[in-house]
Amino acid sequence: MKKRKLFSFCVEEQFIQSKTGRLDTCEDLIHIGENFVAVIDGTTSKTDEKWNQRTGGQLAAKTINECFEQMPAHYSALQAAHLFTSEIDKLYKSLNVFESVKKGTTQRFTATLVALSMPRGEVWLIGDCQYRLKNEIFKRPKRADEVLANVRALFLETELLRGATMEELLKDERGHQFVRFLLERQTIFQNNLSAGEYWYPAVDGFPIPPKGISVRKIPKDVPDLVLATDGYPILRRNLKETETSLEQLLRRDPLLFREYKSTKGMLTGNVSFDDRAFVRLRLRR
């Protein structure tokens, strides 16, 4: 039976940008369809390898986008997660890489997402994307990233005291290189409940623990909804304010190791530290 939509929507704003300024390198995607709206964050690849001229993050985001295009309107978040997982699993097998990605977690095609299901009146969150309802922001940062961001910050402070300049650090981002080994190693925590506080959910073609799939009903009195990737450290009520906050932060702390601690900063020549995507929806009951 066809599920009646609880509300309709209007796209007030949408924006997508890569950290390099070139969209061909972007690993984020926006899906806007009849029943679902989603912001998808293809995880920055831990390897330089590409498949069909695309990174693993781009392939994961593209596959999830295609799932939303074909997904039945009545699907729950859990059913959607199963579909994402199944389709990426099929992709691995079509490319003859299933055994290698099963053993090597750094090779997996990985993405996170936040989505609106209009028929269900729900927001779904898998991974470290984010959304804003009224003045409340919902996100699920990775514990391991928080630890490594602090380690990177400590390392960069020592580099400055040893005589390095900010300009030098912006050119080679040696802070990111310092923690890269552990950034790669932490992929073993992905969808792995045995990792305790360090485990985190992601769409990567392997089973996602149900507790990693966040579902929230949208209250009746909420007029709009903002969905975004974690390329925005500060999520405001609209695109202009959000972009301004990012611009000001990057001007004050381009390496992102003092005011806002990250596992990577903005390299010289780039326009930001990460790809970013933003959608603001006006909801109508």
Classify residue 129 by its DSSP letter: -
Q: Is 214 a member of any domain?
A: yes
Strand partners, 226: 132, 280
The domain tally of the chain equals 1
The predicted pLDDT at position 2 comes to: 52
- Tens of pLDDT along 93-151? 999 999 999 998 999 999 999 999 999 999 999 999 999 998 899 999 999 999 999 99
What are the backbone angles phi and psi of residue 256, rounded to the nearest 5°?
50, 60
The predicted pLDDT at position 49 comes to: 79
How far, in Å, CA of 251 to CA of 266, rounded? 10
Averaged confidence pLDDT in the chain: 94
Q: Within 13 A of 13's CA, how many CA atoms are on the CB side?
A: 18
What ranges make up the beta strands (E) of the chain?
A: 8-17, 28-32, 36-42, 111-117, 122-126, 130-133, 136-139, 213-217, 224-228, 276-284
- pLDDT of 236 > 50? The answer is yes
- The CATH number of whichever domain residue 74 belongs to comes to 3.60.40.10
Q: Is 255 a member of any domain?
A: no
Range of the domain at 29: 8-140+200-249+270-284
CA 117: distance to chain centroid? 18
pLDDT > 90 fraction of the chain, expressed in percent and rounded = 89
- pLDDT of 1 > 50? The answer is no
Read off the pTM. 0.94
Contacts 24+ apart (CB under 8 A), 162-169: 166/254, 166/255, 167/268, 169/255, 169/265
Q: Is 30 a member of any domain?
A: yes
User: Hey, what are 261's tokens?
Assistant: 């601690």
Average pLDDT (246-254) is 98
User: Hey, what are 145's tokens?
Assistant: 């990233």
Provide the residue type at 2 as one letter. Answer: K
- Tens of pLDDT along 148-171? 999 999 999 999 999 999 999 999
Strand partners, 10: 282
- Tens of pLDDT along 10-35? 999 999 999 999 999 999 999 999 99
Residue 6 confidence class, pLDDT cut points 50, 70, 90: low
How far, in Å, CA of 133 to CA of 138, rounded? 8
